[in-house]
Amino acid sequence: FARPSSSLLARAQTTQATSQRFASTLADTYGSISTSSPGDRIPIDESYPGLRRVHADPDVFVIEDFLDGASCDEIIEAAKEKGTERSPVAYAGWTTDIKDLLGLAATGPVTWAAIIAAWAEAQGDEDASVLGLVLHSIRNYAILFVAAAAAIAAFTKIRADGLQELRTSTSTTLDDMAMSGPRNFVLNAARLFGPSSADSDMHESQFFESPTVISYERDQSLAPHYDANRSADVEDANRGGQTLSTLLVYLNDVDSGGTTRFGRLPAAPDCDRQLASDSECLNIVPRKGDALLFFPADADGRFDERTEHEGRPAVDEKWIARIWRHVDKVPPPFGLSDESIGTYIDGKKD
Ligand SMILES: O=C(O)CCC(=O)C(=O)O
Ligand SMILES: [Fe+2]
């Protein structure tokens, strides 16, 4: 099977609430599996104040002044007080990769190698029978299959170990909704996504991961990645399954560096948030209080590879807060507790 190249970025996620996923399973990278193209995204309140579409199909929005300056400052202070740690990553998509690789090995090379080896063994053996040949093939198949499985396990481990270099920021999560900054972020997000849970008993914020605050110092970055996971049903089952939307708020103004770039989407030259020096790709300049909204998967959870994006290397210090809206309820420790939502979020309008 195909060898990984140095440009290969494995999608990754953390095992903690400060999570992050990286780009592409082997199937994404080598196109060995065709997947159905994504359909409609989850609904949002399209009349939300300040909402501006900067790309259509897939939709990407900037929301001007999504969060007031005092809330931005408070979120930064709360994160500093709690302390940020190196944003952790872990390999996501590994269940898909192992399945694909094992399937590929088992149907192709392993079978042929087993038969050829059995045939070679039988050469010069006057008494070789067809039955003997078949039995030898089966034995060889079993041995080679185990060897292939071990090689695949080693390969996925190496892939996983290499991921940390792709994300050099530090982060923490804020789940104390008694503080007005994080609370305003969650309340506004719930208002924005409101329509998607309008006919459900659940409060919209139950679909959210707790806000993650990410800090980038000079030269820190987040390599191109996807926020969704092709294997979300299995690997993200304990955090609400697939990520259907990413909402991030820029918490400070950034004069230089630290843009959010979508390498597969064209530039938006008419948008004043587009980085002027990038005529190729959609590349958003952070502005304090603005939000960026996009949809890593469609409403049914189908992965949308067009939403690949990155946090470009920081020059000036950069702070963001992020909410991932999942397909199902996100239980603690990843999501907010029912008690916290009941006390501070549900029923509050602002
Ligand atoms: O820092 C950025 O601009 C992008 C952050 C991001 O992609 C993420 O947190 O998933
Ligand atoms: Fe992301």
Helix (H, G, I), strand (E, B) or coil at 343: helix
pTM here is 0.79
Tens-level pLDDT at each residue, the chain (350 residues): 333 332 223 333 333 333 456 545 555 555 544 457 899 999 999 999 999 999 999 999 999 999 999 999 999 999 999 999 988 675 666 677 777 777 877 788 778 788 887 778 777 776 767 777 777 777 777 777 777 677 777 777 776 666 777 888 999 999 999 999 999 999 999 999 987 666 678 899 999 999 999 999 999 999 999 999 988 988 899 999 999 999 999 999 999 999 999 999 999 999 999 999 999 999 999 999 999 999 999 999 999 999 999 999 999 999 999 999 999 999 999 999 999 999 999 875 44
Which of 246, 262, 265, 288 to mutate to test ligand 1, by most ligand atoms within 8 A of the CB atom?
246
Q: How far is CA 304 from CA 57, 74, 85, 297, 328, in A?
A: 10, 34, 29, 5, 18
Q: Looking at residue 168, what is its pLDDT? A: 87
Distance (angstroms) between ligand 2 centre and the Cα of 23 equals 10
Provide DSSP, 98-156.
Answer: HHHHHHHHHHTHHHHHHHHHHHHHHTT-TT--HHHHHHHHHHHHHHHHHHHHHHHHHHH
Of the candidates 42, 62, 103, which has an alpha carbon nearest to the alpha carbon of residue 302? 42
| Residue 348 pLDDT | 55
Say if residues 96 and 230 touch (Cβ distance below 8 Å).
yes
Tell the residue nearest (CA) to atom 4 of ligand 1.
311
Confirm if 212 and 320 have CB atoms less than 8 A apart.
Answer: no
- Which residues are near ligand 2, the ion (C-beta closer than 5 Å)? 227
Say yes or no: CB of residue 309 within 6 Å of ligand 1. Answer: yes
Bridge partners, 266 (sequence order): 281
pLDDT of res. 209: 96
Q: 35 and 303 in contact (C-beta within 8 Å)?
A: yes
**Structure tokens that stand for 80 in this block:** 């500093």
Report CA(227)–ligand 2 centroid distance (Å): 5
Say what the pLDDT of residue 16 is: 38
ipTM for the whole predicted complex goes beyond 0.95: yes
Task: Report how far residue 293's alpha carbon sits from residue 43's, in angstroms, rounded to the nearest whole number.
Answer: 12
Residue 177 structure tokens = 């909704």
